[in-house]
Amino acid sequence: MVSLLQACGVVKRVGRGRASSEVLAGVDLDVQEGELVAVLGRSGSGKSTLLHLLGGLDRPDAGSITLAGQSLLGCSQRELTRIRLRRIGFVFQSFQLIEEMSGEENVLLPAGLPGAPPGGALRARNLIEELGVGAVASHLPHELSGGEQQRFAIARALVNEPALVLADEPTGNLDSVAARDLLAILRGLTAAGRSVIMVTHERDVAGAADRVLEMVDGRLR
């Protein structure tokens, strides 16, 4: 198993001066390819923060993060953006679909950005079909159910074939049926060789993962 993502001693502080506190107090993590990892923690424990750092959406105050051999620390904004475009797919808790665009257009969004790998349209189509939302592809987000929206969000995250998928509370806004379906999808992603890191506060959701790490006091256990 090849290690895809390593994090060493990642520290993230919030606030300033005397009011600052360490959300992450030195996190170590190692994720292999094709692994589904769950990070379990209470709300406010810093798990979302960790996800953001791993996804290059924010910079740690200390520590290092390496993705597929490339350290994220020395990267400029441009490079980070590039990495986010091609190597990472983010699935947000609140889906963060763009309201003005249909589900399909949302999926196509990353594929149309400059620097995206070609063939995105076909991939998008396939993903939509695979995820079973082909029938409602032209609907606007507010016309879709929570589960359908989540699938489009996943499709969007996958359209550029990233190696790493980061999911923030993916079942947070879903009912139990949809949640089960979603976990199955996530499992399926790892079969294709992708790594998935999932952040959740529900123990039974975390149970579907290959590995469960607990976030306690700003560290992973």
Partner 1 sequence: MLATAAVVGYGLHTGFQRSARGADLPNVIARFDRQPLSRVAPRIEALPDLAAFAFRLEVTNVDLIGGAHRSREGVVEVLSPGRRGFDLLAGRELSVRPGEAIVEQGVARSWGLRLGSRLLLDGLGALRVVGIAESPDNVAFPLAAPRIYLSRPALDARFGVERDPQVNVAELWLKDPRQLDQVLGQARASSYGLRGLRVITRDGVRVLLDQAAGIVIALLVALSAIALLTAAVMLGASARAEVERRLAGIGVRRAIGAGRAHIALTHAVEAAIVSIPAGGLGVGVGYLVARGPSDRLLEAINELPPGVGLLAPLAGCWALTALIPVLASGWPALRASRRPPIALMRGAELGGRRGGRSLLGRVRLGGNLVGLAALGARLVSARRVRLLATLAVLGVSVGFILLMLALASELNTLQSDPGSLGKRYQLTASLPAAAVPQVRRLSGIAAVAPRYEVQALDSFSLGETIDLIGYPGDHTIFEAPPLVSGHRLGSDSGAEVGRGLAQVLGLRPGSTVAVELPSGHEARFRVAGIVDSLQHDGRVVYVSSRALLASEPSAQEQLAVRLSAGASPVAVTRRLAALGAKPKATGGATDRGRSLIAALTAILRAVAIVDGLVCIYALIQALFLTARERRSTIAVLRACGADAGAVRVLLGGAAVAAVAPAALIGVLLERFVLGPAMARLAIGYASLELSAGSGEIAAVLAGLAVLAAAAVLWVARQAGREPIVVALS
CA angle 103, 108, 109 (to 5 degrees): 100
Closest among 48, 3, 52 to 29, alpha carbons compared: 3
**Does residue 58 bind partner 1 (CB under 8 A)?**
yes
- For partner 1, which residue of 16, 18, 78, 221 counts as binding (CB under 8 A)? 78
Q: Smallest distance from the beta carbon of 25 to partner 1, in angstroms?
A: 19
Q: Smallest distance from the beta carbon of 199 to partner 1, in angstroms?
A: 14
Measured distance CA(182)–CA(174) in Å, rounded: 9
- For partner 1, which residue of 16, 18, 142, 221 counts as binding (CB under 8 A)? 142
**Does residue 86 bind partner 1 (CB under 8 A)?**
yes
Upper half-sphere CA count for residue 122 (Cβ side, 13 Å): 3
Q: Which is nearer to partner 1, 152 or 208 (CB)?
A: 152
Binding track, positions 35-54, relative to partner 1; x by CB under 8 A: -----------------x--
- For partner 1, which residue of 38, 40, 46, 55 counts as binding (CB under 8 A)? 55
Is residue 209 within 8 Å of residue 18, measured between CB atoms?
Answer: no
70-71: strand order across its sheet:
21-32, 3-14, 62-67, 70-71
Measured distance CA(41)–CA(36) in Å, rounded: 16
Cα Rg, the chain, nearest whole Å: 17
Q: Which is nearer to partner 1, 152 or 212 (CB)?
A: 152
Phi and psi torsions of 120, nearest 5°: -65, -35
- For partner 1, which residue of 123, 156, 158, 189 counts as binding (CB under 8 A)? 156
**Does residue 16 bind partner 1 (CB under 8 A)?**
no
Residues that bind partner 1 (CB under 8 A): 52, 55, 57-58, 77-78, 81-86, 90, 92, 96, 98-101, 105-106, 108-116, 121, 140, 142, 156, 160
